[in-house]
């Protein structure tokens, strides 16, 4: 149910997994790859249960040690005072570990998969990266997300194409995605993604429209956060190395963005599209009609295997 209800998320994760170690890990632990693995376990459980249990025990022994543990704790002064005693109990329950670091590298290469189901709609993802290119991250990319959501992608995918929704994003890591939600089309939507660089090269907006895009972007950044969400953001920043100075610079780039800054983003988008990573989840008939888009077409369920 999650894979179909959030098919846009699953398809983006899968397409990004073709070139990203992080996304491959996420797919194998909570996406299509994980679902297919669990399907195999269930189907052959009686024959594989000893192997499955032994594997899980091996993972527990390797990973769940004191030295591998990171704790994120958010509380007021009274709550924070309780942390030392709680941490003592937690660390005493875990083994020390032997210091081994387990490197992870995903296999690379675009599979460009079409996952078929009985659904009448599709989730069409096009993903890529500009990492390693001459381009660098800029806060103007946050404005691009706002623009595409309310202008180019909205008009072409939603208004003209009939999709229920559309999303996009380009992160500091260099990874970017464009995806449709409950979309009647497949190839037509991919063609629309291909047109984004030309749209940006011809971008022209008056001061009122630019101000509108900037305000919309800042309002998304300045959403009030609960203490819990502040803790999540802090942990994310700690893991990713994003500092307050970096966030301040991003904010200034958003506030000071010009039309030329937006037009210059066409190069970044073109690099992302050149990666060529595609994944679609949806209607079997429609996916097969646009089979030239895909390297593999297979069922979303039944472990991705054709019966």
Give tens-digit pLDDT for 106-147.
Answer: 999 999 999 999 999 999 999 999 999 999 999 999 999 999
**C-alpha dihedral sign at 70, 75, 80, 85:** negative
Q: In whole angstroms, give the CA distance from residue 218 to residue 145.
A: 12
The model's pTM = 0.90
Q: Is 99's pLDDT higher than 90?
A: no
Q: Is 232's pLDDT higher than 70?
A: yes
**Which residues span the domain enclosing 23?**
2-41+106-304
In a domain, 90, yes or no: no
In a domain, 278, yes or no: yes
Total domains present in the chain: 1
In a domain, 156, yes or no: yes
Cα-Cα end-to-end distance for the chain: 21
The secondary structure of the chain in percent helix, strand, coil, rounded to multiples of 5, reads 55, 10, 30
In a domain, 58, yes or no: no
Mean of per-residue pLDDT scores for the chain? 94
Q: What is the CATH number of the domain that holds 17?
A: 3.30.830.10
Task: Tell me the Ramachandran region of residue 188: left when phi exceeds 0, alpha when psi lies from -120 to 50, beta otherwise.
Answer: alpha
In a domain, 89, yes or no: no
pLDDT of residue 307: 42
Q: For residue range 262-298, list pLDDT tens digits in order.
A: 999 999 999 999 999 999 999 999 999 999 999 999 9
pLDDT of residue 303: 56
pLDDT of residue 46: 94
In a domain, 60, yes or no: no
Q: In whole angstroms, give the CA distance from residue 181 to residue 10.
A: 11
Q: Strand, helix or coil at 247?
A: helix
In a domain, 190, yes or no: yes
Task: Report whether 112 contacts 255 (CB < 8 A).
Answer: no
In a domain, 149, yes or no: yes
């Amino acid at each position: 149910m999650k894979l179909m209800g959030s098919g846009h998320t699953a398809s983006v994760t899968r397409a990004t997994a073709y070139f990203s170690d992080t996304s491959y890990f996420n797919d194998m632990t909570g996406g299509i790859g994980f679902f297919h693995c669990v399907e195999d376990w269930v189907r052959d459980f009686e024959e594989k249960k000893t192997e499955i249990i032994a594997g899980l025990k091996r993972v527990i022994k390797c990973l769940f040690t004191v030295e591998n543990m990171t704790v994120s704790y958010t509380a007021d002064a009274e709550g924070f005072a309780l942390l030392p005693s709680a941490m003592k109990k937690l660390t005493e329950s875990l083994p020390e570990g032997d210091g081994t670091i387990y490197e992870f590298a995903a296999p690379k290469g675009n599979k460009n998969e079409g996952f078929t189901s009985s659904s009448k709609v599709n989730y069409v993802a096009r993903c890529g990266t500009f990492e390693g290119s001459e381009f660098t991250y800029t806060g103007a990319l946050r404005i691009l997300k706002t623009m595409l959501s309310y202008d180019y992608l909205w008009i072409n995918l939603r208004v003209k194409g009939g999709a229920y929704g559309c999303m996009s994003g380009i992160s500091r890591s260099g990874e970017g995605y464009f995806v449709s939600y409950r979309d009647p089309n497949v190839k037509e939507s991919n063609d629309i993604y291909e047109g984004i660089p030309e749209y940006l090269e011809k971008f022209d907006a008056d001061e009122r429209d630019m101000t509108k895009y900037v305000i919309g972007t800042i309002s998304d950044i300045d959403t009030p956060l609960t203490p819990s969400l502040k803790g999540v953001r802090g942990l994310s920043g700690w893991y990713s190395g994003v500092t307050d100075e970096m966030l301040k610079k991003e904010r200034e780039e958003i506030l000071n963005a010009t039309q030329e800054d937006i037009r210059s983003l066409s190069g970044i988008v073109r690099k992302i599209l050149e990666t060529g990573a595609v994944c679609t989840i949806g209607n079997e008939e429609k996916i097969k009609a646009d089979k030239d888009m895909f390297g593999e077409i297979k069922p979303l369920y039944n472990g991705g295997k054709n019966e």
